[in-house]
Each structure stands twice: as structure tokens, then as C-alpha cells.
Amino acid sequence: MQKAIGKYRWTICGLLFFATTVNYLDRQVLSLLKPTLEDLFGWTNSQYADIAAAFQFTYAIALLFAGRIVDRLGTKKGYMWAIILWSVGAMIHAWAIPIGQGTISALGWTGLAALPVSVVGFMVARIVLGIGEAGNFPAAIKATAEYFPKKERSLATGIFNSGTNVGAILAPLTVPWIAKHWGWETAFLIIGAVGFIWLIFWQIYYERPEKQQRLSAEELAYINSDAKEETVSAAAGEKVSWFKLLGYKQTWAFTIGKFLTDGVWWFFLFWLPAYLKDQYGITGTGVMLPLTILYSMTMFGSIGGGWFPVYFINKGMEPYDGRMRAMLMIAFIPLVVLAAQPLGEISFWLPVILIGIGASAHQAWSANIFTTVSDMFPKKAVGSVVGIGGMAGGIGGVLITKIGGALFDKYKALGHIETGYTIMFAFCAIAYLLAWVIMKALVPKYKPITDL
């Protein structure tokens, strides 16, 4: 079948994979340098949470508009501007101090003046990064909806979403080493510049399927085999009102699912280097091996999670119903994180492995929850719905980050910082089952939107 119909669509999937890898490389540099920067600038956990939350909040709000912009500009231009902006945002972290001084002087806000210059500077850089990075997933999901029939979308999403894992793996392998040998500023500059290399390949190889000269007629027909009702103009970006989209239970199912679970992944990204330092005294290049192993485990969840619902779909279930069946089974896996703290008294490797299992389950969940949007909505609305849900996920991440920072400072002052991590891990363990129950209650059975 692959030989007969062609496989250029997987080249596009590869481009999405590498973009997502760069996306997560850029956002993770700060968390890996947190122990160094907090010693250098005297940050508290709450101040670090302010910096991380600035990114998450901006990312959340920008996601809402990013989906809309991608729908209007089209995937190629939307992705292009997104990666330019986030690469610039990643690089300007290197000049956080002068940025902080200039921002305080220019705005003269009393609230900003009360914060250290370094905190303000990094917050501004994170805001720019967040605006740009918000374009990645709406554009990638839209490209997947354009280039893949429904039965292949969860697998394609799982593959490109595994770029989050590869980015998370490459970051601890590179950032501590670069910072140790060339300084923390260079780490931001080198990692941030990678996005411009990807942009060259995107401009060369991506075009809408209807205009893609490298795509065979047989493969184009295969891509459109279950979407004949969707017109080319719809795929190009017909307007769909946000308020109209919010009138559908399908939108709310996706949005609530993202709100409850995205913060778990944010927590694993932004706080695990701090966790290894706070509880086990592991810093600098010492985090390279445990974090590399932990994030490597998530590859299995991302790709395996994308494949899992195909088993049920091949048995005759509708794509959405098969996906929800798979997501229920996936939702039980993060419960192992409840054992991370108790078993951590034996060896730090046990929580690393258990958290790795939980993070892997998140990626399996993520590959499927994203695809529920293209299961339910026509292509013209996919970017907007992903943006709405992504905004909710970002707000959930802000709450997790701020609560975590406050808890860690509180229990650190009491001499029991491990209690703060126990509380946070407990939420991470149960979030997916809670999200699944609400999603299932809102949309019990497959019900695609046909009146947009």
C-alpha cells in the first residue's frame, strides 16, 4: 500500500517532528540552568516560578490567537513566523540583565521595580519565547489534518509529538555541557539559533497538498479519502467564530482535558532539575544521565500512544471511540508516580524511573487528545480549537507552576521540601483519570461537527 500510494506525507511528518524538537529544546534551557542561575542571581523558588509562569501565561493566551492566525495565514506562513519569533526569543535570554534594566526604566512600574533585574529580564525573554512557541502545535496539528487521513492522524501526531521527548533528551545532553565550557549565555544563543536551520527545509519542502508537486495523485487521493466533504477553501482558512466553537461540547471536552493534564508535563519539564538538586544534591552535568534516561522513556509513550487506538479502530470502532478507549487505559499508568517519593529513600533512580513512566503516559495521552480535535472538527476549525484547548492547558500550567513554587518555598523554610514534591506528584498521578471522566461525560460517543 505504501509503495502504491506514495509516502511523501511522512516527509512532512518529519519536518513537524524536527520543529517540535527545536520547540522543546528552546523552552527547556532555562529549567536546566535554574540551579546555576538561582545561585548566580539569588532567586527563590517563587521568583523562578514567576519567570516560568510568564512563559506559560503568554503561551496560553497566544495559543488562542496562534490557532486563529494559522487558520488565516495557512500552515506554511504561520509556522514560518512562529519559529522566527521563538528562536529570537530563545536567544535574547542571553541579554536578560540589560533587558531587565531597560524594561524597568522604560515602563517605570512599581511592581516590576520590586523584582530583581534578572527576574524581569528573563520574564521579558520568556514572554517573547511564549508568543512564538504558541504557533507550533496549532500549525503542526493543522498540517497533520491536511496531509493525513483520519486513521493515520494519531500515529502521525504521536511521531511528531515525540519531538517533545527528543528535545527534552537533547537539552540535558547539551545545555549543561555548553554552560560549563562556554557560559550560560552561550547555551541560550546556540540552542536558539537551531530554529533558523529548520526554517530553510520548511520553505523548501512544505506546500499545501493541493499545490504540492512532490505528492503523487494517488497519495493525494488517499489523504482525502475520508474528507471529501471538506473543501479546499475550508482547508485554507475559512473563518469560524470562537464563540460558535465554544458552543460545542466537543470543544469543552478537549479544553478541559488539556487544562487538567498539560500542567503535569510543564511540571516535569520545569521542575525536575530543581527536584534532583533539592532532594539529592544533583546539579550541573550531574543531571545529564538521569534526565536523559527519564525523557528517553517518553519516546515509547509518544509513538506507542499514537499507535494504540489503531488497534481498536481496526476492530471497527469509530476513531474517537477507539481513542477514548485507549486514553482510559493510558490514564491509569501515571498512578505509579504516587510511589516516587516513598521509594526515593532507597535510590534516586527509582523516582527517576517512575516519573519517566508517568511522563511517557502523558505523551501517549497527548498524542491522542490532540487527535480528537481532527476527529471531530473540519479542517478549517482545527487550528482554532487546538488554540482554545492549548490556552486552557497553558493556564493549567501556570497554576501548577505558581502553586509548586509557593509550596517548595514554604516547605523548604520548614526543612521539609520533600513534602511539597509529594503533594505535586500526587496531583500529577490522578490528573489523567479525572480528565478522562469529564471528557467522556461531555462527549460519550463519536459525534463529528457538521454544521460549521
Distance (Å) of CA 332 to CA 161, 180, 327, 410, 436: 21, 40, 9, 31, 10
- Domain hosting residue 146, numbered range: 2-442
**In the chain, how many H helices and how many E strands?**
20, 0
Q: Using alpha carbons, select from 76, 43, 32, 160 the residue that is nearest to residue 383.
A: 76
Q: Is residue 63 part of a domain?
A: yes
Q: Is residue 180 part of a domain?
A: yes
Count other Cβ atoms within 10 Å, centred on residue 101: 14
Q: How far apart are CA 166 and CA 160, in angstroms?
A: 10
Query: 429: domain CATH number?
Result: 1.20.1250.20
Q: How far apart are CA 365 and CA 78, in angstroms?
A: 26
The residue count of the chain comes to 452
Q: Is residue 447 part of a domain?
A: no
Residue 194: helix, strand or coil by DSSP? helix
pLDDT for residue 388: 87
Cβ atoms of 116 and 47 closer than 8 Å? yes
Cβ atoms of 120 and 235 closer than 8 Å? no
Q: How far apart are CA 215 and CA 210, in angstroms?
A: 9
Using a 10 angstrom Cβ sphere, with 0-12 exposed, 13-18 middle and 19 or more buried, the burial of residue 229 is exposed
Number of domains in the chain: 1
Q: Is residue 452 part of a domain?
A: no
Q: How far apart are CA 408 and CA 420, in angstroms?
A: 5
Distance (Å) of CA 391 to CA 25, 342, 384, 398: 21, 34, 11, 11
Cβ atoms of 250 and 447 closer than 8 Å? yes
List per-residue pLDDT tens for the chain, 452 residues long. 445 678 899 999 999 999 999 999 999 999 999 989 999 999 999 999 999 999 999 998 887 788 778 888 889 999 999 999 999 999 999 999 999 888 887 776 656 667 789 999 999 999 999 999 999 988 998 899 889 887 788 788 878 888 887 898 899 999 999 999 999 999 999 999 999 999 999 999 999 888 888 888 888 888 887 655 444 444 444 567 778 899 999 999 999 999 999 999 999 989 999 999 999 999 888 999 999 999 888 888 877 877 788 788 888 887 788 888 999 999 999 999 999 999 998 999 999 999 999 999 998 998 888 788 888 888 778 878 887 888 899 899 999 999 999 999 999 999 999 999 999 999 999 999 999 999 999 998 887 787 76
Is this model's pTM higher than 0.85 or not? no
Q: Using alpha carbons, select from 165, 174, 180, 172 the residue that is nearest to residue 194.
A: 174
Residue owning grid cell 477514548: 324
pLDDT for residue 112: 62
pLDDT for residue 229: 46
Q: How far apart are CA 82 and CA 133, in angstroms?
A: 6
Q: How far apart are CA 304 and CA 283, in angstroms?
A: 32
Distance (Å) of CA 414 to CA 90, 101, 408, 409: 36, 34, 10, 9
Q: Is residue 301 part of a domain?
A: yes
Cβ atoms of 263 and 397 closer than 8 Å? yes
Count other Cβ atoms within 10 Å, centred on residue 275: 27
Residue 111: helix, strand or coil by DSSP? helix
Q: How far apart are CA 174 and CA 379, in angstroms?
A: 38
pLDDT for residue 108: 66
Q: How far apart are CA 432 and CA 420, in angstroms?
A: 20
pLDDT for residue 234: 44
Q: How far apart are CA 371 and CA 158, in angstroms?
A: 9
First to last CA, the chain: 33
Q: Is residue 450 part of a domain?
A: no
Residues 6+ apart with CB under 8 A from 110: none
CA angle 282, 355, 294 (to 5 degrees): 65
DSSP letters, 273-301, are HHHHHHHH---GGGGHHHHHHHHHHHHHH
